[in-house]
């Protein structure tokens, strides 16, 4: 897997101050995407153990609320396979910190067996995500007043509540601070 950028103090892509990893590779190629350079799976630098160590170090301060994954698309199968071992380390070292992930795929598509981008690690990856922002960016639905998303079709899914309820539960500012 490659990545395009790591931000160490991001306040735009989740609650609080976050470390953000922009992975490379996206087959959705949404018109109007704010990061079209990340569509290329070879864009940026290789994601290595040294990269993982750097991010784990950036997550250490108490003022960092968690990690956000976006891109590109973290849920492209090759990206999932690279991210799952890393997320295991994040959750083991920082169980109190949250993981947010953005995907151009809809949550239901991530659950469908035999449908791209589902693969052998999708369930495990979803199990380590606290908030999932799903759905493609749709330029005609762009709304800059929306918090943590670019277009009104995208949903903020509270994954912890969704797992507990067995159905999609949307995240809101007044819900548990994830």
Element (H, E) at 156: strand 155-158
**Domains along the sequence of the chain with CATH:** 2-165 (3.20.20.70)
Q: Residue 170's beta-bridge partner residues?
A: 157
Output DSSP code: residue 59: T
pLDDT tens digit sequence for 46-60: 999 999 999 999 999
Element (H, E) at 85: helix 77-93
Regarding pTM above 0.85, the answer is yes
pLDDT tens digit sequence for 147-169: 999 999 999 999 999 999 999 99
CA 83, chain centre distance (Å): 10
Distance between CA atoms of residues 124 and 163, nearest Å: 12
Query: Is residue 33 within 8 Å of 27, Cβ to Cβ?
Result: no
Give the pLDDT of residue 31. 87
Distance between CA atoms of residues 13 and 5, nearest Å: 14
Segments of the chain scoring below 70 in pLDDT:
174-178
Give the pLDDT of residue 174. 56
Distance between CA atoms of residues 86 and 80, nearest Å: 10
């Amino acid at each position: 897997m490659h990545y395009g950028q790591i931000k160490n103090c991001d306040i735009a892509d989740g609650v609080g101050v976050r470390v953000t990893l922009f992975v490379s590779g996206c087959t959705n190629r949404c018109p109007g995407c704010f990061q079209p350079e990340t569509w290329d799976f070879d864009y940026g630098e290789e994601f290595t153990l040294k990269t993982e160590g750097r991010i784990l170090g950036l997550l250490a301060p108490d003022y960092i609320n968690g990690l956000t994954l976006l891109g590109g698309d973290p849920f492209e199968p090759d990206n999932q396979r690279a991210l799952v071992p890393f997320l295991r380390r994040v959750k083991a070292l920082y169980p109190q910190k949250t993981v947010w992930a953005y995907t151009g795929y809809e949550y239901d598509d991530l659950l469908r067996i035999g449908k791209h981008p589902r693969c052998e690690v999708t369930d495990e990856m979803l199990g380590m995500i606290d908030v999932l922002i799903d759905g493609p960016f749709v330029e005609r639905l762009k709304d800059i007043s929306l918090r943590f998303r670019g277009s009104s079709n995208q949903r903020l899914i509270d994954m912890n509540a969704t797992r507990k309820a067995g159905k999609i539960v949307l995240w809101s500012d007044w819900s548990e601070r994830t």
